[in-house]
Structure 1
Amino acid sequence: MASISFKSVIPCSTASRGDVMYRTTCGLIAASLVTFAACSRDPATRTREYIASGDAFARAGKYREASVEYRNAIKVTPTSAEAHEKLADAAARAQDPQTAAGAILRVAELKPDDPAAQIRAASLYLLAGRYEDARDRAVAAVESDRADANAHLVLAQALAGLHDAARSEKELREAVRLAPKAPEPLVAVGSFHWAASRTADAETAFRKAVSLGPQHVAANQALALFFMATGRPADAEPLWRVVAASPQGLPFALVDYLVAMNRLADAEQALGDLIAREPTRDGASVRLAAVQYARGDRRDAAHATLRAMLERNPHSVPALLLQARFFQAEQRLDAALRAAQAAAAADPKHAEAALVEGEIHAALRDDVRALRAFETASRLNPKDASPHLAIARVRMRQGQAVEAVMAADRAAALRPDDPALRLLLIEALANSNQRARAIEEAQSAIARWPKAAGLHVQLAGLQATEGRTEQARRELSAALEIDPTSIAALAAVAELDVRAGRGQAALAAIDNRLRRQPDDPALLLLAARTHAAVGQYDKAETTLRRLVHDNPSNLDAFSALGRLYLATGRLDEAREQFERIARDDKKAGAGTMVGMILEAQHRRDEAQRAFERALETNPRAGVAANNLAWLYQEQGRLDDALRWALVAKDELHNMPEAKDTLGWTHVRREEYGEALPLLAAIVEARPDNPLYRYHLGYAYWKTGAVSRAREELRRALGSKDSFSARKEAEQLLSEMDADPRNASR
C-alpha cells in the first residue's frame, strides 16, 4: 500500500482561479499540521502535559492514576527531577512504598547538590538499615549546606548505625547548635542517650524537646515511650493524648496505650469516637473488634463489629486476618481457613496473610498446604523469621529432623535476640541426635537469657537423657522458680520422680498445682498419666473419664483411657460402667468409650450401635464419627461413611486418623481425585505409618500409577510395625509384580 502524504490530502493546485489565495491557504494548513506534529513530538511539552495530568489526579485524591501519569512523564524525560519527586509523593500516598523509594533515590541522583533530596534518600537508607549508603547521602547533604541541622541529624543517625558513637554524638550536638529552638535534634539526642543507658540525660533532652514543642508529635511520643519503659505509664497518658489528637499525629496512639494498660472499656469508648470519622473508620473498626474480643464477655459484639466492617469493605485484609484469628482461637478452623484465604486472595503480596493461612493448615494437620503457605510468606517477606519457625515446627512433627534443624537455623539467624527461636533450634537438634550441639546451644542460650524457663526445661531433658539426673533437677528447679505455672517443667520433674521411685512426691506436686488450676485439661492429663505410672489406676481412670466426658473429641484422653483398660484387663467391667453412664450422658463421651471397648473386643456390630447412639446424643462427636465411618465403609455403606468421615475431619481438626478414614472412604467410592491429596498429605506427615502407605499405594494402583504404588507398598511392608492390612498389601504387591504389563510401568 502506498503511503499517504500531506500532498495527496491537500493538493495545492495552481490551475484554478484564486490561485494565490488558495496557495496561501494550503500553505497555512500544511504549516499548521507540521507545527502540530512537531509539538506532539516535543519531549518537554509532553512531559509537562503528563505532569499536569498527574497533578490533576493528585488534587482529586486519585494517587494511583497520578502515579501512572508521572511515570509517563519519566518515560519521556527520564532526567525530570520534578516528575520523580511527584511520583515519590503520589506512590507513597497510594501505599506503593517500593515505587516511592525508587523515585526518592533517583531524585537524589538527579539533584546531587540539593540537601533536601540527599536527606530524604539518607532517611530511606536508614529505614532499610543500609547505614553506609545513608552516611554517604548525609555527608553530601552536609557538604551542600553545613548550616542545615537536618543534614547533621541524619548523619548522626547513620553514624550511630555504624557504631561510631563519638562522631554520632558530635553531629547531634552540631544539629542542636544550629537549631536550638527545634524539638527534632533534642529528640535525637535523647534517643542517643537512652540507647547508651544514660537515662537521666535522655529524660532531660526529651523534656526539653516537649517544652520547645508542646504539640510536637515526635517529642511527645519519645517522652511517652521513655515513661512507659521506665515504669511511669501514668505520666505517659497526657503525652499520648497529644500524639493522638494532633492532625499530623497517630490517631490510635491513645487507644494502643489504653489497651497496653488493660483499660479495655476506656479503649472501646475512645474507638467509638474514631469510628465516627471517615479517615479512621476502618482502622478503628478492626481495633474495636480486637478490644471487644479481649474483654471476654464481648466476643459476640466483636464478631458483629467485624461483620459490619466486612460488609462495608469485604476485601479488608486486616479485618479478614483478625476474623481468622478469632475463629482459630475458637477452634473453628474451617471458618478460620476461609477467612485467611480470603485475605490472601485480596492481597496476594501480603506476607502475614500467607503466614496465617499456613498456621491454620498446620492446625488442620494439612502439612503440604501449610508448608506451601509458609514458603510463600517467606518469599514475600524474606526478613521475617516466623515462616521458618513455622516450617521447623511442621518438620519436627513429621519426624524430618534434618529439615527441621535447617529451618530453625534460618529462623534463629533472622531473629538472633529471640529465645523462643533458640529453644526450637535446640529441640530440633535433640530430635536429630545432635545432642552435643543441642547442649552447647542450650547452655549458651541460658547464659544469654537466664530467665527463659523453657530453655532450662530443654537443657534438663538433654541432661536426663545422658543420665545426669541431679543437673537436670537443678535446671528444672530454676525453670519452676522462673515460671511456677510451667506444665512442661512439672511433667519433667514428675517423670524423674517416678523413675527414681518417688511417685508420691510427683503426685503431690501435681495435686498442689491442680488446687490452683482444677480444670486445666493438660494438667489433668498429666495427673492421670502419673497416677497410672505409679499403679493408681482408679484415680487415673476417674480423671480420664472426666476428660472424655467434658470433651468427646479429646483423642489423647480417649487413647490414654483405652490403654489403661487394655493394660489392666478390665474391658468388660469398663464397658458396663460406661454403658450406665451413657444413658444420661449429654456429650457422647461415655457412648464413644463403649464403642471403642466393644471394638477392642471384636464385637463390631455392637460397637457400631454404640457409636450411632453416641452421635444421636452429639452429632459432632469426632471420635465416634471417625470410628463409625470406618465401620460403615467396611460394610459398603459408603454414603453414610462419607457423611461421618467429613464430620470427623472437621471435629478432629484434620488429625491423620480422620484424614485416613476420609481418604480411604473416597477410595472405596472410587473418588481417587479426592482421595490422593488426603492420603499423600498424611503419608508426608506420618511417613512411618505402614497402614497410611498401604492406602496411598492402593489408590495409586487404582489410578494406574504402578511405580508409585509399588514404592508405597514396599515401604509399608518394610516397616517393622504391624498393621491390619499387611496381608492385603502383600497380595496386591505380588499381583502387581506377577503381571507382565506392569514390568515397564
Structure 2
Amino acid sequence: MTENTQAKNHDTAVNHLALESTLDQPNRKRRTPMWLKLLKWFVLPAVLVVVLVLLFSKTPEEKVQAYYEKGMAFLENDELDKANIEFRNALQIKKNVTAAVYGMAQVAEKKGDLKAAYQHYLTVAEQDNKHVMARVKLANIYMLAGQPEKAADYMAQLARLAPNDEHVLLLQAGASLRQGDHEKAVALAQQALKKNAKFNEAYALLAVERMQNKDPDQALVFLNQGLQQLPGDVDLSIYKVRVLESRQQLDEAAQVYLQLIKQTPNKKNLRIDLVKFYMRHQKMDLAEEQLRALIAVDAKDQEAKLALLDVIKRSKGAEASAKQLQAFVDDAPDDMQLRFAQFATDMQNKNMPAAKKTLETIIALAGEKQDRLKAKGLLAQLHLQEKNRPAADALIAEVLKEDVRDQQTLTLKAGLDIQAGELEAAIAKLLIVTADNAKDANAMLVLAQSYAKTGQFVQANQYYQKAVDASQGNVRFMMSYANFQFATGEFEQAEKTLNAVLAQQANDLPALKMMVDVKTARSDWTGAVAVVDKVRQVAKSPLVADYLLSDVYFKQKNYAASLPLIKRVYAAEPKDAQVLGNLVSHLVMAGQSSEAVTLLNRLHSENPQDALSQLMLAKVYLQSKQLDKATQVYQSLIQQSSKVVQAYQELAKLYLMTGKMVEAESVIEDGIKQHPKDLSLQFLQADLYQSTGKPGAAQAVYEAMLKVDANATSVLNNLAVLLVEHHSDKDSIARAYQMTQKFSKQEVPELKDTVGWVAYKAGKYAEAVKALEFSAEKVPANPVFQYHLGKAYLAVLDKLHAKLALQKALEGAGSSRDVPVDEVKQLIAELG
C-alpha cells in the first residue's frame, strides 16, 4: 500500500540531514583544493568550470540527501532496482541514514523478499526507538509468518509509543480480524479513518472483512469510498479488480486496469497485471494486444516479448509462437536472450538437432562472454544426454579454462562427480558456486545432500538451512530438510520444519504423512492420531489414514487396534507388497503367526513363481524360532530359481548364526557364482573367513571389492580394522590410517570409532581420543566404543577418564567377544 506517512518520514529525514549538516560545519573556512586553483591556467569553458565546482563542492550530507531523494522517486515509480542502488549509495557515504535503510526495506517488501525486509526494518527500529512504521511492519511480518507472540511484542511497544496512530490502530484491527473478532476489527478500522480519511489500508481492511463474510457488494462500497478520497490509488484499484472478478464483472474489472494505465502510462507492471488478468479469463487476443503495445513502446522489452510468445502459444499453438519468435530473432539477430528462448522452444518440442544448432549459433555470435559460456554449458548437457561424454568433457574444459568459477559448469561437473561417487570433489565445486551466489538454492540443496551422503551432518544441516532461506521457504526445500532431520533423528527439529510447511499448505499430504511418522517417533501418540484425522479429511481415500493409523497403533504395541485397520487396507490393495509385509508383521507380533503362515502359503499356491511370499514365510518361521522350516523355505527358493539373491543371503546368515560354517561357505560360494556383483554376499564371505580364523582370505575379498570401487566406505572401514587387528607392521598400520582418512569427516559413530582406533594403533593418540569421544558420546552404551576410548585415554595419561570408560565397557560387555573382558578387568585393577 502507498503509505500516507511517506511525506512525513521524508520531511523528518530532510530536517535530520539538514541539522547534521549544520552541526558538522561550525563557522569554519573551507580550504580551496589545489586542483581548483590550477584551473585558471587551463582554457576551459566557463560553464564546465561552474559544473565542476558545483559537483565537487557538495558536502557529504548533501550527497546523501540527493541519493535518498532519487531513491524515493524511483520507489514511487516502482523502479525498485534503481531505488535500491540510490539508497545503497547514500549508505556508503553515511552508514546510519535511517531513512535510506527504511527505503531499502520498502524495496525488499515490494519485491516479496520478506527476509531482507525484516532485517532492514529491524535495523531501522534499532537505530530509531521511536520509529512507528518500522515496528508496524515488523509486527505485520511476524503475523504473516505465523508468530503472533512475537508480533504482540511490537504491538505492545506501539501501544505505548503511538496508541492513536492510524497505522497502529489498523495493525490492531488486522490482528483482531485474524482472531475472528470482526466487530472489533471494523471498529478499529473506522477509528483509523476518523483520524485519516485518506488512509487506503483501512478501506482495504474493511473490504477484506466484508469479503470474508461473503458480502462483495459492501466490499465494493468501502473500496469506492476509498477511491473517492484517493482517486487512482493503485492498491485499492487492484483490490477492487479482485472483488469484481469474484462477481464475474470482468468488463468492469478490465476498465479499472485501463483507467490506471491511462493515469500512469509509465508503470509497466500495471499492463503486465492486466495481461495476467486477461490470461486468467482466456481473453488471449486482449492480452496479446496489451503486450504488443508494450513492445511498441520499447522494442527491447524482453519480458513483454517472452510473455507474448507464451500468449500466442496458448491461443494459437506452438507453431505460431515459434514463428513469432523467429520474427523477433530476425529483427534482432544479436539478441541472445531471444536465441536462448529459441533453444528452450526447441527443447520443449524435443527437437535435439535444432536445440544443438541454436546453441552453436549463440556460441558463434555471442558478444558477451557470459552468454557464450552459458551456451557451451547447455550444449555440454545435451551431449551428456546423448551419452557423448568426450564432447561434453571438452566443452566443460573450455568453459572452465575461460572462467574457473563458472557456476553453471561447476554445478554440471559436480553432478558428474556425484554420479561417479566422488562426493568430496563435488562438494569442493559446489562450495565455489554457493560462495559466488548466495541465492542459488538448488546448488545449496545439492551441497547439503552431498554432505549428508558423506556423513558430514553438521555441514549438511547448515546448507539445508541455507537452501531453505535462499528459496524463501519453498515447500520443496523444506520437505527435503525435514527428511534429513528425520533421518538423522532430529525429530523435534523435523516437526518444526513440517509445521512451517503446513503453515503455507495446510493440506499438504506428504507433509502430513511425515508428521505422523515424526509424532510417532517422539511417542506423541495423541498428536499422531490427530494428524491422521487431518489426513482422513485431505486424502482422496480413507485407506491412506487407515494405513497410517495402523502403523501408529503397531508402534504402540496396540495390536488389537492395528490389525483390523491393516487387514482393511490389505483387502483393498492385496497386491501391494509393502501392505502385505506390514500385515504379516502385525500378525506375528500379535501372536497370530499361524494365520500369517496360512496367508503366505495360500499366496504361494496361487502364484508359485512369487518369491516374495516365500521370503516373508521364512521370516515368520525365523521369528517363531522354527529354524528348520525357515531353512527348508530358503533351500526350496534357491532350487526353484537361482535369481532370488535374497534367498542366498538369508540362508547364509542363518547358517552363520547357528554356527554351520561349512554350509554357510557352500551357500555363499554358490550365491557369488550366480550373483558375482552382489556386495552383501561378498561381505558375508569376508565375515565367514574372519570368523573361521582366515584373515588373509577375508582381506583378499575386501581387496577385490576395492578394485571395483576404491571409495566404498564400508569396505575401507572393514579392511582398515582387519589390518590393524591382524598386522603390526608399520606399512599395514599406515595403509589402514590412510584408508580411514577417506571417511574421517563422516559423523557416523561406527566409522568414527574405526577412525579413532586406527589412529590409536598408529600412535596418534590425541587424534584418537577426539574421534573416539565422538562415538562414545553418541552411543554411550556401546562397550566396544568405551573400551577403545579407555585405551586411548590411557595412552594420553588421562587415568581418571580411562577408568570411567573401561568400567562402562565392562558393564556393557556381557558375553561380547569384541571386548577382552580379562584385559579390561586387569587395567581397571591397575588404575585402582
* Aligned residue type for 2:447: E
Q: Displacement, 1:94?
A: 14
**Residue 472 in structure 1 maps to residue 582 in structure 2:** no
* Aligned residue type for 1:287: L
- Report what 2:538 is aligned to: 448
Q: How does 1:590-605 map to 2 (within 5 A)?
A: 592-604=683-695
Q: Displacement, 1:685?
A: 6.3
- Report what 1:667 is aligned to: 760
Q: Deviations over 1:325-383 (max 9, x none)?
A: 33223433232222223334545676555443322121112223323443455566663
Coordinate RMSD, CA, aligned: 6.2
Query: Counterpart of 1:341 in 2: which secondary structure?
Result: helix
Q: How does 1:196-207 map to 2 (within 5 A)?
A: 199-203=280-284, 205-207=286-288
* Aligned residue type for 1:173: Q
* Aligned residue type for 1:634: E
Count residues with an aligned counterpart. Answer: 649
**Residue 127 in structure 1 maps to residue 109 in structure 2:** no
Q: 1-side partners of 2:741 and 2:638: how far apart?
A: 27
- Report what 1:342 is aligned to: 432
Report the identity percentage. 17
Do the aligned partners of residues 190 and 83 (structure 1) sit closer, same or farther apart at CA in structure 2, a change above 3 Å counting?
closer
Q: Deviations over 1:160-217 (max 9, x none)?
A: 89999789987753331454799965642353466xxxx5445454344356567875
Q: How does 1:209-224 map to 2 (within 5 A)?
A: 209-210=290-291, 212=293, 217-218=302-303, 221-222=306-307
* Aligned residue type for 1:439: V
Do the aligned partners of residues 604 and 366 (structure 1) sit closer, same or farther apart at CA in structure 2, a change above 3 Å counting?
same
For the 8 Å contact 2:787–2:806, the answer to whether it is kept is yes
Q: 2-side partners of 1:730 and 1:229: how far apart?
A: 80
- Report what 2:64 is aligned to: 77
**Residue 270 in structure 1 maps to residue 362 in structure 2:** no
Q: 1-side partners of 2:554 and 2:708: how far apart?
A: 46
List runs of 5+ in structure 1 lacking aligned partners: 1-31, 54-69, 515-523, 549-555, 740-745
* Aligned residue type for 2:600: G
**Residue 437 in structure 1 maps to residue 527 in structure 2:** yes
* Aligned residue type for 2:255: R
- Report what 1:640 is aligned to: 732
Q: 1-side partners of 2:778 and 2:744: how far apart?
A: 16
Do the aligned partners of residues 208 and 229 (structure 1) sit closer, same or farther apart at CA in structure 2, a change above 3 Å counting?
closer
For the 8 Å contact 1:595–1:607, the answer to whether it is kept is yes
Q: 1-side partners of 2:781 and 2:823: how far apart?
A: 18
Q: Deviations over 1:441-477 (max 9, x none)?
A: 2442464354899888645533655433443355578
Query: Counterpart of 1:78 in 2: which secondary structure?
Result: helix
- Report what 1:538 is aligned to: 635
Do the aligned partners of residues 455 and 98 (structure 1) sit closer, same or farther apart at CA in structure 2, a change above 3 Å counting?
farther
**Residue 284 in structure 1 maps to residue 375 in structure 2:** yes
Q: Displacement, 1:430?
A: 1.7
Query: Counterpart of 1:176 in 2: which secondary structure?
Result: helix
Do the aligned partners of residues 595 and 153 (structure 1) sit closer, same or farther apart at CA in structure 2, a change above 3 Å counting?
same
For the 8 Å contact 2:380–2:392, the answer to whether it is kept is yes
For the 8 Å contact 1:395–1:401, the answer to whether it is kept is yes
Q: 2-side partners of 1:619 and 1:730: how far apart?
A: 36
For the 8 Å contact 1:392–1:407, the answer to whether it is kept is yes
Aligned partner of 1:175 among 257, 278, 286? 257
Do the aligned partners of residues 178 and 349 (structure 1) sit closer, same or farther apart at CA in structure 2, a change above 3 Å counting?
closer
- Report what 2:421 is aligned to: 331
- Report what 2:273 is aligned to: 188
Q: Displacement, 1:617?
A: 8.1
Q: Displacement, 1:403?
A: 4.0
Q: Deviations over 1:56-106 (max 9, x none)?
A: xxxxxxxxxxxxxx9x96784334457658999999599989959999xx9
Q: Displacement, 1:125?
A: 1.1
Q: 1-side partners of 2:515 and 2:650: how far apart?
A: 30
- Report what 2:516 is aligned to: 426
- Report what 2:461 is aligned to: 371
Query: Counterpart of 2:523 in 1: which secondary structure?
Result: coil
Which stretch shows the higher mean deviation, 687-696 or 590-599? 687-696
Q: Which has the higher contact order (CA 8 A, sep 6+)?
A: 1
* Aligned residue type for 2:274: V
Q: How does 1:88-99 map to 2 (within 5 A)?
A: 99=88
Which stretch shows the higher mean deviation, 130-139 or 637-646? 130-139
Q: 2-side partners of 1:74 and 1:168: how far apart?
A: 52
* Aligned residue type for 1:629: A
* Aligned residue type for 1:331: G
**Residue 503 in structure 1 maps to residue 600 in structure 2:** yes
Query: Counterpart of 1:175 in 2: which secondary structure?
Result: helix
Q: 1-side partners of 2:481 and 2:587: how far apart?
A: 34
Which stretch shows the higher mean deviation, 612-621 or 442-451? 612-621
Aligned partner of 1:315 among 405, 409, 416? 405
Q: How does 1:404-423 map to 2 (within 5 A)?
A: 404-413=494-503, 418-423=508-513
Q: 2-side partners of 1:593 and 1:320: how far apart?
A: 40
Which stretch shows the higher mean deviation, 402-411 or 329-338? 402-411
Query: Counterpart of 1:331 in 2: which secondary structure?
Result: coil
Q: Deviations over 1:639-670 (max 9, x none)?
A: 42553575588699966545533332112112
Do the aligned partners of residues 138 and 307 (structure 1) sit closer, same or farther apart at CA in structure 2, a change above 3 Å counting?
farther
List runs of 5+ in structure 2 lacking aligned partners: 1-28, 38-47, 118-136, 142-166, 168-197, 203-222, 622-629
Q: 2-side partners of 1:298 and 1:94: how far apart?
A: 47
Do the aligned partners of residues 357 and 727 (structure 1) sit closer, same or farther apart at CA in structure 2, a change above 3 Å counting?
same
For the 8 Å contact 1:691–1:716, the answer to whether it is kept is yes
- Report what 1:28 is aligned to: none
- Report what 1:397 is aligned to: 487
Do the aligned partners of residues 342 and 36 (structure 1) sit closer, same or farther apart at CA in structure 2, a change above 3 Å counting?
closer
For the 8 Å contact 2:507–2:538, the answer to whether it is kept is no
Q: 1-side partners of 2:61 and 2:541: how far apart?
A: 56
For the 8 Å contact 1:74–1:84, the answer to whether it is kept is no
Q: Deviations over 1:510-567 (max 9, x none)?
A: 999x9xxxxxxxxx9998567655643136669999698xxxxxxx999756534335
For the 8 Å contact 1:646–1:662, the answer to whether it is kept is no
Q: 2-side partners of 1:50 and 1:709: how far apart?
A: 79
Q: 1-side partners of 2:492 and 2:437: how far apart?
A: 33
Do the aligned partners of residues 309 and 35 (structure 1) sit closer, same or farther apart at CA in structure 2, a change above 3 Å counting?
closer
Q: 1-side partners of 2:581 and 2:86: how far apart?
A: 49
Q: 1-side partners of 2:261 and 2:79: how far apart?
A: 30
For the 8 Å contact 1:227–1:236, the answer to whether it is kept is yes
Q: Deviations over 1:680-739 (max 9, x none)?
A: 555676666443454345445544667766776666666598754445599389739946
Which stretch shows the higher mean deviation, 446-455 or 494-503? 446-455
- The TM-score with structure 1 as length reference comes to 0.65
Q: 1-side partners of 2:794 and 2:477: how far apart?
A: 36
For the 8 Å contact 1:221–1:239, the answer to whether it is kept is no
Do the aligned partners of residues 108 and 36 (structure 1) sit closer, same or farther apart at CA in structure 2, a change above 3 Å counting?
closer
Do the aligned partners of residues 257 and 52 (structure 1) sit closer, same or farther apart at CA in structure 2, a change above 3 Å counting?
farther
- Report what 1:695 is aligned to: 788
Q: 1-side partners of 2:639 and 2:85: how far apart?
A: 61
Q: Displacement, 1:572?
A: 1.0
Q: 1-side partners of 2:685 and 2:663: how far apart?
A: 11
For the 8 Å contact 2:275–2:291, the answer to whether it is kept is no
Q: 2-side partners of 1:453 and 1:559: how far apart?
A: 34
* Aligned residue type for 1:666: A
- Report what 2:719 is aligned to: 628
For the 8 Å contact 1:710–1:733, the answer to whether it is kept is no
